[in-house]
Structure 1
Amino acid sequence: MDSSFTSVSYWSSKIGTTEPALRLLLTVLYGYPLALLFRKCVFNKAPIAQHLYFITTGLILGYWNYGSDICHCIYSTIFTYFTLVILKGTLYSVVITFVFNLGYLIIGYFYWSTVSYDINWTMPHCILTLKLIGVAFDLYDGHQPVESLSADSKKLALVHPPNIFELFGFVFFPAAFLIGPQFSMKRYLEFIGGHYNNGDEPPNSVPAAVRKLLFGLFYLAVFQLLGFFVTDDYLISDAFGNLPFYRKMILLGMWGRFTLYKYISCWLLTEGACILFGLSQNGKDERGETRWDGLENVKLHIFENTTEFNHYIKSFNVNTNNWIAQYVYKRLKFLGDRQLSQIFSLLFLAVWHGVHSGYYMCFFFEFVVMYMERDIKSIVKSDVYLKSFFASPKIQLPLQIVLRMYTFVFMGWCVIPLVFLQYPRYFPVYANCNYVGAILFLLWPVVYAPLVRFLLKKYGKRNTEKAQ
């Protein structure tokens, strides 16, 4: 058989994708046979054997994708290990781990980033960065008075720094090393220690893993199907710009789904592999059956039924959002301002994603959209007539349709800079979309909100005078 027939480059050209993208997808799928091999040969063995299995398989997959560049992940893990061992659970260890790992990642972005979305060693390194920073914070929490910790911090706190095998096994866990999901060192150690085991038998997680696999393949197929109707190149073309406004908005919403389904399909596939390993166990449900949603990274029911952008935040990239809440947002409580804490959290997310302006524009729009929605809710809640109107059963169906169309279309708007990354590339797309998001969101606090409040005040006063 011609060796080219079995090569990744051959099939990537046939499928119409890039070789790094196909390698990444295959790596995600390799998590399933690796999980089966673990269940057959390594399950319930000594912790050192499990660590070595994860380290070896994770490094092999990393090398297959990125070659010798995988050494950057090794360097950061070694540096963090010695930082935690020497400085233990002190504030110094948190600061040094945070600055070193985030700084290393930013330097990597600066030298290795191109004008498009990059699949290189910085991808697993961004996952690794959050993992290592999280370990430093958990070790710090383990050395604080218990009564000073939040409920989540108590669950995740580490009394002792992990040994080098524990840290490397945690970082290079093969089903989550390259694209996530995020999980804590405490969860990994409980998994290794047999906390999630079903006696001497591997956990009964196969049905749950198969379901996630099928969901992942379904969303991957839908992603490919949507690619026939909308692509990145189409949005930037004159053909798209010349369409009637309503068609552009529908296609913008479809393109937004096309963009997000790429991530969702991969997250579902890798979550299924983690379930098959047994890492995703999350206690029992009300019927006494084991829950396997401990590493759920997308809540499909919420995501597909959004009526406000907060639903996207609750349902998309869940584990990273939880990490930001635990290690950034809540740690900024001393600022005494939730809005300021949100700004710094979104700024951290933008820096963590990369150096392109598109990341900052994307999270800027997340902030202004959330600001507008909170403001609208406040206005409705404070006005008795609006509150009664929107509570009416007659208005619920049309309201649901409008809100679902709103979230469908404008999620597409919000991810434009996330995809096109650089101003010269995403600004023409904004122009093709008639700047609709800027007109809606940016003008809300300076034009629409004052006008709405003025009219409500005037209308309310007139009604009061009539009543008298």
Structure 2
Amino acid sequence: MEWIYAPLRIILNSSCLFLILLFILGYPVALIHRYYVSSNDKKIQHLYFIICGLLFGYYNFGFGIGHQFVNILAIYLLLKLVGGTLYSAVIALVFNMAYLLIGYYATETEEYDIVWTMPHCVLVLRLSGLVFDVYDGSKPEESLSKDAKKVALKKAPTLLETAAYCYFPTSFLVGPQFPFRRYSDFVSGENKDKIQNSSDCVIAASKRAGLGVMYLLIFTVGSMYYNESYILGEEYSNLPFLRRCFSLAVWAHITLYKYVSCWLICEGSCIMSGITYNGIDENDQTRWDGCANINVFLFETALNFNKDYINSFNINTNNWMFQYVYKRLKFLGNKYLSQIGVLLFLALWHGFHSGYYMSFFMEFVCVAMEKDFLSILERNKTFQEALSKPGWSILKKIVLKLYAFVFMAPCVAPLALMSYSKWWQVEKSVYFYAILFWLCWPIYRPLVSFLLPPNKVRKE
């Protein structure tokens, strides 16, 4: 029975235990609001969310959760005094990031720290996006993009509304991220009848919760064999090269399952509340994916980084970065500079550890290489037609899946191990195969272009 008791000991001895319990408590909190609180005045609902959120935060972080209220009050006063302007948006972003970075400096260690800075990094995006939405609401509607029109705010929310939005109990700890307009419509009773009269809501929430628990169990059991100590140990370093690469890939996926399980469980509680309602699809089925942060099927079947992994993992954060950072850097006049700006912001948002910057640097060169390779491939229609044949199509998917599975590991290692001494040892043990493969692309690109020349256009 050791195979049963060992995972339980890992969970019970884990510092994440209290956090997992709070994720699960989000379900009864959502149900209480749905059946007993949602029919009350909006102020009562705001207070309910604030009280529950503060209790959750205090239970896990003590009085450290007070840092969030200081930040919330500062942004509320900023909007009150300066209003929705470009200056207020820039000041808010700088202030929020500065507060977070000071927190990182004061609390950061060599391990993954479950302290008040963890929910605070979610708060930074939430409050910064809120100020940008108020700024967009002050501009002529015809000047806004399609996405900006959906979230722009004509007036700044009150302090009570802002605090309730930030302390929303099923999402403020680790996400998911969503705009204030979604929260405001939810509290106002938009689509209330469709939410409360639909059993799909409970079914969808239960499915995500079950999937989250399954991933949590896989992570717990897998961590017994593939953990940080193993990857940094002598047994791993003595493996043959190919086995080291494959073992690193298995460890990387198991490590990511920790995040996947948390997002799924939290998303389930958000679905239970009804805030994730996203309309009706073409099959007349209710959609509850308004706060989805992981596309499990796409993540598990990913064949590349440029589209599959990026579009399936940490979806809400990626959307936020695209909406509020990438698009705002359009004045640079270069999409690569905008991408670098986004990745630098992401690395800084995670903290000061060198592993964050290495991981996002590898993402940049990887995506650039894949895009360029795809542009060469698209010009050779003959090769594409050959790959579309049944036998070659299956072989292509197998090769791409092996590529995505094995090459994702060196990107995850710096992000998960964080400190230079650890991630450098792991990258060195596999001879930096991933970063060299992507960085050396300009060297072997001419050969690829020669082997896959563009089809000539026949002239009449």
Q: TM-score range by the shorter chain?
A: over 0.9
Q: 1:299 aligns with which of 295, 320, 325?
A: 295
2:236 matched to which residue of 1? 240
Q: 1:82 aligns with which of 77, 85, 91?
A: 77
Specify the SS of the correspondent of 1:102: helix
Distance (whole Å) between structure 2 residues aligned to residue 13 and residue 392 of structure 1 = 48
Code of the residue aligned with 1:235 in structure 2: it is: I
Larger mean Cα displacement after TM superposition, 286-295 or 43-52 = 286-295
Per the TM alignment, residue 30 of structure 1 is displaced from its structure 2 partner at its CA by: 0.9
Distance (whole Å) between structure 1 residues aligned to residue 7 and residue 448 of structure 2 = 53
Residues 240 and 41 from structure 1, CA distance in 2 versus in 1: closer, same or farther, beyond 3 angstroms?
same
Specify the SS of the correspondent of 2:174: coil
Contact 2:100 2:120 in 1 (8 A): yes
Code of the residue aligned with 1:313 in structure 2: it is: I
Code of the residue aligned with 1:256 in structure 2: it is: A
Q: TM-score, normalised by structure 2?
A: 0.94
2:343 matched to which residue of 1? 346
Residues 289 and 409 from structure 1, CA distance in 2 versus in 1: closer, same or farther, beyond 3 angstroms?
same
Per the TM alignment, residue 383 of structure 1 is displaced from its structure 2 partner at its CA by: 3.4
| Gaps in structure 2 of 5+ consecutive residues | 1-5
Residues 12 and 85 from structure 1, CA distance in 2 versus in 1: closer, same or farther, beyond 3 angstroms?
farther
Contact 1:12 1:19 in 2 (8 A): no
Code of the residue aligned with 2:10 in structure 1: it is: I
Distance (whole Å) between structure 2 residues aligned to residue 192 and residue 368 of structure 1 = 43
Specify the SS of the correspondent of 2:15: helix
Q: 2:193 aligns with which of 194, 198, 205?
A: 198
Distance (whole Å) between structure 2 residues aligned to residue 312 and residue 77 of structure 1 = 33
Distance (whole Å) between structure 2 residues aligned to residue 130 and residue 121 of structure 1 = 15
Match status 1:150 vs 2:145 = yes
Per the TM alignment, residue 454 of structure 1 is displaced from its structure 2 partner at its CA by: 5.1
Q: 1:134 aligns with which of 110, 129, 138?
A: 129
5 Å-filtered alignment, 1:28-67, equals 28-67=23-62
2:104 matched to which residue of 1? 109
Deviation string 1:382-436 (CA, Å, 9 cap, x unpaired) is 3355444434443111110010011111111110000111111111111222322
Match status 1:211 vs 2:207 = yes
Deviation string 1:161-183 (CA, Å, 9 cap, x unpaired) is 00011100000000001100000
Deviation string 1:228-281 (CA, Å, 9 cap, x unpaired) is 331111111121111122222221221111011100001000000001111100
2:426 matched to which residue of 1? 429
Distance (whole Å) between structure 1 residues aligned to residue 415 and residue 348 of structure 2 = 13
Contact 2:260 2:294 in 1 (8 A): yes
1:97 matched to which residue of 2? 92
Contact 1:196 1:278 in 2 (8 A): no
Match status 1:336 vs 2:358 = no
Contact 2:249 2:407 in 1 (8 A): yes
1:261 matched to which residue of 2? 257
Q: 1:161 aligns with which of 147, 156, 162?
A: 156
Distance (whole Å) between structure 2 residues aligned to residue 206 and residue 387 of structure 1 = 44
Match status 1:175 vs 2:170 = yes
Distance (whole Å) between structure 2 residues aligned to residue 356 and residue 118 of structure 1 = 12
Per the TM alignment, residue 17 of structure 1 is displaced from its structure 2 partner at its CA by: 5.9
Residues 138 and 15 from structure 1, CA distance in 2 versus in 1: closer, same or farther, beyond 3 angstroms?
same
Distance (whole Å) between structure 2 residues aligned to residue 207 and residue 118 of structure 1 = 34
Specify the SS of the correspondent of 1:198: helix
Per the TM alignment, residue 78 of structure 1 is displaced from its structure 2 partner at its CA by: 0.3
Distance (whole Å) between structure 1 residues aligned to residue 455 and residue 71 of structure 2 = 61
Specify the SS of the correspondent of 1:345: helix
Match status 1:73 vs 2:62 = no
Distance (whole Å) between structure 2 residues aligned to residue 249 and residue 375 of structure 1 = 25
Larger mean Cα displacement after TM superposition, 341-350 or 246-255 = 246-255
Contact 1:196 1:203 in 2 (8 A): no
Per the TM alignment, residue 438 of structure 1 is displaced from its structure 2 partner at its CA by: 2.5
Code of the residue aligned with 2:121 in structure 1: it is: C
Distance (whole Å) between structure 1 residues aligned to residue 246 and residue 433 of structure 2 = 13
Per the TM alignment, residue 200 of structure 1 is displaced from its structure 2 partner at its CA by: 9.6
2:310 matched to which residue of 1? 313
Larger mean Cα displacement after TM superposition, 424-433 or 267-276 = 424-433
Code of the residue aligned with 1:252 in structure 2: it is: L
Paired residue total: 450
Give % identity: 45
Match status 1:402 vs 2:404 = no
Contact 2:7 2:221 in 1 (8 A): no
Match status 1:122 vs 2:114 = no
1:250 matched to which residue of 2? 246
Contact 1:39 1:202 in 2 (8 A): no
Distance (whole Å) between structure 1 residues aligned to residue 30 and residue 294 of structure 2 = 21
Q: 1:286 aligns with which of 282, 286, 295?
A: 282
Contact 1:197 1:203 in 2 (8 A): no
Per the TM alignment, residue 86 of structure 1 is displaced from its structure 2 partner at its CA by: 1.4
Distance (whole Å) between structure 2 residues aligned to residue 43 and residue 398 of structure 1 = 53
Specify the SS of the correspondent of 1:281: coil
Contact 2:280 2:287 in 1 (8 A): yes
